[in-house]
Amino acid sequence: MVSRLSENVVSGLGRIKTKNRRQSNEETNKRGGVLKTIGAIAIVFAIVALVIAFNLVSENPVKKFAQQMFEPKMPEENIPLYQKAASAYDIPWTLLAAHHRVETKFSTMDPLTSPAGAEGHMQFMPCTFVGWSHPTCTDLGKGDIDESEKTDPAAIRKYGGYGVDGNNDGVADPYDLQDALYSAANYLSQHGASEGDLEQAILTYNHSDEYVKDVLFYYNKYEEQYRDE
């Protein structure tokens, strides 16, 4: 009896120890899980803080590095087109090239229509291209303009738009590069670029401080790179 009692006691103590170990392991695992969660949250906050910090400074080193490493080269055949359109409206051709780079990466964007409805090589909203006095033009400027009016120089004059028939073929087409460049040059010129107020012209083209920084980045780059052109 004593032997069986001792066995029972030992067995009971073993079960208690095993149970205690399990509880201890569970508590350790729980604490480890909590610590991992806290660590993951801390990492997320650190990343967010870094992104905010980079965007608060005027020169974002990460963005600048990406721009330098993955920069599409300006097509040489475009330079005479920029120069001709810019000269017609007395603005720097490098500004026009910078807009083309930012808007559609030199027309490599596919399709040349944004989700918001901006169209063509230089991303004009239809109401800006044709004219905001068009009866369908409201809100962001997508409008409901008939295709025949969108490219009609007479309709554009009627509604006060910025679209231009740059190649003199009888239509002003935002999907034609020459027409799009002349139209953009026209817009930028009328909003201060011809008087030297580049920042105001850029901001009017797209109401974003980040957009202004991007265009000026490329404008200054091209001014340096093509100063002898």
Give the C-alpha distances (Å, rounded to integers) separating 56 from 6, 37, 46, 51, 52: 74, 29, 15, 9, 6
pTM strictly above 0.75: no
Token readout for 205 is 């083209």
3-state class (DSSP) for residue 143: coil
Tell me how far apart the alpha carbons of residues 69 and 50 are, in angstroms, rounded to a whole number: 21
Could you tell me the fold of the domain covering 68-225? Lysozyme (1.10.530)
HSE-up of residue 26 (Cα within 13 Å, Cβ side): 6
Locus of tokens 């009017």: 204
Tell me how far apart the alpha carbons of residues 185 and 95 are, in angstroms, rounded to a whole number: 9
What's the pLDDT at 33?
A: 58
Give the C-alpha distances (Å, rounded to integers) separating 162 from 29, 86, 131, 179, 213: 66, 14, 7, 11, 24
CA 187, distance to chain mean position in Å, is 21
Tell me how far apart the alpha carbons of residues 66 and 8 are, in angstroms, rounded to a whole number: 72
Q: Domain limits of the chain?
A: 2-56, 68-225
Q: Is the dihedral of CA 78, 84, 87, 89 positive or negative?
A: negative
Token readout for 187 is 């817009």
What's the pLDDT at 43?
A: 74
What's the pLDDT at 152?
A: 98
What's the pLDDT at 201?
A: 98
What's the pLDDT at 139?
A: 84
What's the pLDDT at 18?
A: 52
Give me the tens of pLDDT residue by residue for the chain, a chain 229 residues long.
Answer: 444 444 444 455 455 455 555 555 566 555 655 556 666 676 756 654 544 444 444 455 655 555 555 788 999 999 999 999 999 999 999 999 999 999 999 999 999 999 999 999 999 999 999 999 999 998 889 999 999 999 999 999 999 999 999 999 999 999 999 999 999 999 999 999 999 999 999 999 999 999 999 999 999 999 999 987 6
Locus of tokens 């808007």: 103
